[in-house]
Amino acid sequence: MAYLKLCLWKEAAADATDVLEREPHNVKALLRRAAAAEAQGAPAAAVTDLRTVLQLQPANAEAVSRLAVLEQQQQQAGTAGSCGSCCSDAAACGGAAAPV
């Protein structure tokens, strides 16, 4: 989670992937990897992880909400991107901040 707070997306994704190799059903790791993917402009990867979360926990509010946003963005723009508020200064992240 520290990597997400620091907007270190590649490191966050790698860390979550390491956890998922040992624990494939780790919902927190799936959510963190989805956030990192979303921030890196990889909405398809984020959607895949969020759908996996919903298979494991159909009522997971965070996954339901984030998936709905991504799907709406895909419908509106043909691609899904994200600009959230994980950092106080999104420009410090290259303008690609994502919700944590």
Number of domains making up the chain: 1
Question: Residue 31 is part of a domain; what is its CATH number?
Answer: 1.25.40.10
Higher pLDDT, 98 or 58: 58
Whether residue 8 contacts residue 21, with contact meaning beta carbons closer than 8 Å, is answered with no
| Confidence (pLDDT) at 38 | 95
- State yes or no: pLDDT of 97 exceeds 50: no
Q: Euclidean distance between the first and final Cα of the chain, in Å?
A: 8
Q: Tens digit of pLDDT for each residue in 13-56?
A: 999 999 999 999 999 999 999 999 999 999 999 999 999 999 99
100 located within any domain = no
Q: Which amino acid is at 44?
A: A
Token pair belonging to 88: 């106080």
Domain enclosing residue 88, as ranges: 2-93
| Confidence (pLDDT) at 1 | 64
